[in-house]
Amino acid sequence: MKILTGNDLLTGFVTWWDGQGWSPHVDDAVDVGDEAETILAREEAARRVNASYAIEASLDENGKVRPAHIKDRVRALGPTVRPDLTLKPAEPEALNWVI
C-alpha cells in the first residue's frame, strides 16, 4: 500500500494522511493508490502539511499500518532511545515493531 506522510507546518511534528486530514498516528494512514501526487499538491498548497511525501507500507497481522522503511517507522513513533518522548510513553514495548 502507498501512504502519505509529512510534517505539520507549525509544530514540525510528523503527520499521516488519514483520508480526511492529517493524523499524528500512523495507524490512521490510508492507502492512497495513485492519488498521492494530487493529494500532496493540494495539501501543501493549503499549508496543511509540510515536506510531505509518499511511502510504501503494509498491514501487519493485526491490521496495523507499518511503513516499509526503518526511517519512517522511527518517525511513526519517536526516538527509540527516549521512550518517554514517543507517542506511547507508557508503552516502551510499542517500539518493538519499529526496529
Partner 1 sequence: MYKYDSYDQQMVDTRVAEFRDQTRRRLEGKMTEDQFKPLRLQNGLYLQLHAYMLRVAVPYGTLNATQMHALADIADKYDRGYGHFTTRQNIQYNWIKLEDAPDILADLAKVEMHAIQTSGNCIRNISSDQYAGAAADELIDPRPYAELLRQWSSFHPEFLHLPRKFKICVIASDNDRAAMRLHDIGIQIVKNEAGEIGCAFYVGGGMGRTPMIAPLIREFVPLDQLITYSEAALRVYNRYGRRDNKYKARIKILVHEMGKDEYARQVEEEFAHLLEQGIEPPLAELERIKTFFQPPPFVSSEVETPNAERLSTALEANGDAAFARWVRANCSAHKAPGYVAVTISLKPVGGIPGDASADQMHVMADLAKEYSFDECRVTHAQNIVLPHVEIGRLNELYAKLAEAGLATANIDQIGDIIACPGLDYCSLANARSIPVAQKIAQRFAENGKGETLGQLKLKISGCINACGHHHAGHIGILGVDKKGTENYQLLLGGSEAEDTSLAKITGPGFDEAGIVDAVEKAADVYLARREDGERFLDTYRRIGMDPFKEALYA
Is 7 a binding residue for partner 1 by CB under 8 A? The answer is yes
**16: three-class secondary structure by DSSP:** strand
Residue 71 CB, nearest distance to partner 1 (Å)?
6
Nearest to 18 by CA among 36, 40, 3: 3
Residue 17 CB, nearest distance to partner 1 (Å)?
17
Asked if 29 and 71 touch (Cβ cutoff 8 Å), the reply is: no
According to CB under 8 A, which residues from 62 to 81 bind partner 1? 68-71, 74-75, 78-81
**For partner 1, which is the closer residue by CB, 51 or 59?**
51
